[in-house]
Chains A and B, each alone.
Chain A
Amino acid sequence: MSSNVSVTTPADPDPGRSGADSGRAGQFSLDVDERTIGGAFRGWIGKLRSGEPGALPSVLGLVVLVIIFSQVSDRFLSKYNIGSIPTQGAYIAIIALGIVFVLLLGEIDLSAGTAGGTCAAIAAVAVSKGSLHHGLPGAMYWSLLVGQLLAIALAVWLKNYLPAVIVAIGFVLVVTNLTQHLFIALIAAICIGTAIGTLTGWLVAKVGIPSFVVTLALFLAWQGVLQFALSGKPIDTSNYDLWHNLTYGNLSPTASWIFIIVVVGLYVGYTLLTSIRAKAAGLAHDAVSLVLLRGGVIAVVAVVVTILANTNRNTNAYRIIEGIPVPAAIAIVLMVLATLALTKTTWGRHLYATGGNAEAARRAGIDVVRMKVSAFALCSSFGALGGILLASSQSSASLDLGGSNVLLFSVAAAVIGGTSLFGGRGKPRDAIIGAIVITVIPNGLLLKPSLGPQWQQVITGVVLLVAAGVDAISRRRAART
């Protein structure tokens, strides 16, 4: 209580000096203490009690589902089955990662699935017909080029220079017909996704149509465009090794080890360095013991998982399946990149601020329109990659690629993971955990054929409802305290 402070207290002439004296300890007591293992645990309990459950409900939900399914079928916990989960769910995880950016703004993108499907289909046409100019029907090729140019202009106008460059790269790849090569076609598809997202973002942020309506309309429209692009015939993608292996491939055991060591090593090294530096500078920081404990747990889990993944998990003797699944590696890398972008860059800070209080962000000089357009552009780019992975896992660029429930499952994954629909709260990690939950449900049910597929929808719905309920109750609790 500072009511005893006199109004005539002279100003401290040298604010820096007071940092050293004893007055400091009382003022920012939480800052000078380092966060120890016990402190972190107490802080976590405190957050739970004050209504910020974080990833806990989704993790608990996952544990419950795993326990149930392991009782339903003893094959559920087999290495083969666990190893197949990334293949089945990678597209949900990737699309959900993109959706998180949009959800952080309090907006929604219902079109990411079908937009991504359209991009993947264009890539499929490009490689199977050898040329987009001849492969795409009638005016569609020219529409694509005009659309890309329009997206570049919009992106530049709305100060989204990086998306503009990406869309421009896509344009060049399409015009030069380099897209006949599969890898480049897939890159171009992602660039086309960026273009689509720029258009969506412009409609939402600049024209001012509610994102729900814009993306609902585009959800419907892209489904039709997809069928135009494929000329009504699905394209088999399983002949293309690179494409097929995006979801069915595995890293070799050596590559798996390198991958895990690099990822975990960078994480532990980075957090340790941050902690030591912050301690030296007298900032709030986690104790070294806490960092090492966290890093150690992650390292042990990673090593165990890698050892298991690197043993043959195929049940028949003809072929050896071993190594970390490629889709899992893709999801982990993108999750890390998304997390870095959101927490370590000004762009990420501004995205959270815009989602938390758009007016505050505007007054602070943040270009809210630019932030929104960039989030939609990113979301559709992730959507395009999701569409590519979906085509890979179902071995076909089908006529309803990315349609039906794909997008809804992705939104559900982000929400189950703990991302708020009202903006400002959520992490890329949430999307991955949520996607695992969403994928485990049909995976487990499939092992028990007596339970029909209708159960999948019911159970997924119930899980989503429980997750949203936990979120609502915890938020009410947070408002009360």
Chain B
Amino acid sequence: MSDPILEVRKLNKSFGPVHVLHDVDFNVYPGEVTALVGDNGAGKSTLVKCIAGIHGIDSGEILFENKPVAMTDPRVPTALGIEFVYQDLALADNLDITQNMFLGRELTSGRIFLSDGQMEKQARQALESLSVRTVSSVRQQVASLSGGQRQTVAIAKAVLWNSKVVFLDEPTAALGVAQTKQVLDLVRRLADQGRGVVLISHNMNDVMAVADRVAALYLGRVAAEVKTADTNTTQIVELITSGRSDGLGLSAAAANESI
């Protein structure tokens, strides 16, 4: 078992009087898919935004490759190699796949002029490395892509930048059966290439299909962090809805106090 690549320790976060995250511990391991599950309002998004540098943290620490880092700005995690693929994919419809994948980080010659050929080549390599077979041209406009293809492009963007940790927020939320399968395959491949992948999802089937471990949040506390192989859907659902399941989860006192 290797060390976690990203480690969150005793993280607390309040918005005014509302204590959203209580002493949250959360680990991401290289080469593994960690599912972050929890009901609406459990604090998943807040946790991700704290790591992304969008929200400041009140106390606790974040370690990247065993070194404490201060996520004071969204550019800090990006510079470290942590990518976030948000639910609303943040792709520009009027640009093509290559242009979207390089958006904001274009390759240039002489700092001003675009090196389109170079970008096209690298975009294609990134998609090839993920064995993407659903995209016929990297010069296709994103407007003409299906939901699954868009998700693919958003994920491939993370590969392009050789990121070490990738956060995926509900990547299969709006997809059909076949497309969901494609995207989950892609998620698995990201981890198989050695990245730490965090899958935020409501869908237990997805979680059981690709995740190596599951971290369940319940009202701002980590109810449990378990290996997928050691658990089952029913147990995870119980952790999400009541914070405890048999021997696992928060103590009855903690679970009740949270309410």
Chain A contact residues, CB within 8 Å of chain B: 1-3, 5-12, 15-16, 18-19, 24, 26-31, 50, 277-278, 281-284, 344-347, 349-350, 352-353, 355-357, 359-361, 363-366, 424-425, 478
Contact = CB atoms under 8 A, between A and B. Distances in A.
26 contacts: A1-B178, A5-B133, A7-B210, A9-B189, A10-B192, A11-B193, A12-B131, A15-B125, A16-B125, A19-B124, A27-B128, A28-B136, A283-B117, A284-B120, A344-B113, A345-B114, A346-B108, A347-B112, A352-B94, A355-B94, A356-B93, A360-B90, A365-B75, A365-B78, A366-B103, A478-B143
The 6 A-B pairs at the shortest CB distance, nearest first, are namely: A364-B104, A30-B137, A356-B94, A356-B92, A424-B94, A15-B129
Nearest to A426: B94
B188 A7 contact: yes
B215 to A, nearest CB: 21
Question: For B75, B92, B126, B178, which residue has the most chain A Cβ atoms within 10 angstroms?
Answer: B92
Given A18-B128, A28-B135, A424 B121 contact: no
A10 B131 CA distance: 10
Given A24-B128, A350-B104, A365-B75, 7 more contacts: A9-B192, A28-B138, A284-B120, A353-B95, A356-B94, A364-B90, A364-B105
Contacts of B108: 346
Interface stretch (B61-69, B179-187, B231-239, B250-258): B179-187
A137 B81 CA distance: 59
Contacts of B120: 31, 283-284
A5 to B, nearest CB: 5
Given A11-B192, A18-B128, A284 B137 contact: yes
Nearest to B84: A363
Contacts of A284: 120, 137-139
B104 A361 contact: yes
B94 A425 contact: yes
Given A27-B128, A363-B86, A424 B93 contact: yes
B175 interface: no
A54 to B, nearest CB: 13
Given A7-B188, A283-B120, A365-B104, A356 B136 contact: no
B132 interface: yes
A96 B99 CA distance: 26
Contact of A26 (B106, B133, B178, B192): B133
A349 B100 CA distance: 10
Interface string B87-102: 0111111110001100
Given A284-B139, A364-B103, A27 B95 contact: no
Contacts of A425: 94
A34 B136 CA distance: 14
Contacts of B104: 350, 353, 361, 364-366
A26 B136 CA distance: 8
B14 interface: no
B203 interface: no
B22 to A, nearest CB: 29
Contacts of A350: 103-104
A424 B91 CA distance: 13
A281 B117 contact: yes
Given A357-B92, A364-B103, A2 B182 contact: yes
A2 B78 CA distance: 31
A150 B113 CA distance: 31
Nearest to B209: A7
B134 interface: yes
Nearest to B179: A3
Contacts of A345: 112-114
A30 B139 contact: yes
A31 B91 contact: no
B140 to A, nearest CB: 8
A30 B136 contact: yes
Question: For B86, B88, B90, which residue has the most chain A Cβ atoms within 10 angstroms?
Answer: B90
A365 B105 contact: yes
Contact of B139 (A2, A31, A352): A31
Given A360-B92, A424-B92, A424-B94, A9 B131 contact: yes
Interface string B117-160: 10011001111110111111111100110000000000000000
B182 A12 contact: no
A449 B193 CA distance: 76
B67 to A, nearest CB: 23
Question: For A11, A277, A282, which residue has the most chain B Cβ atoms within 10 angstroms?
Answer: A11
A101 B220 CA distance: 46
Contacts of B88: 359
Contacts of A28: 124, 127, 135-138
Nearest to B181: A3
B93 A357 contact: yes
A2 B185 contact: yes
B154 to A, nearest CB: 10
A151 to B, nearest CB: 23
Question: For B100, B126, B131, which residue has the most chain A Cβ atoms within 10 angstroms?
Answer: B131
A8 B105 CA distance: 31
A283 B95 contact: no
Contacts of A5: 131, 133, 182, 185
Interface string B197-232: 000000000000110000000000000000000000
Nearest to B182: A2
Given A31-B138, A360-B92, A360-B103, A346 B112 contact: yes
A10 B114 CA distance: 34
Contacts of A355: 94
Contacts of B133: 1-2, 5, 26-27
A15 B131 CA distance: 9
A12 B90 contact: no
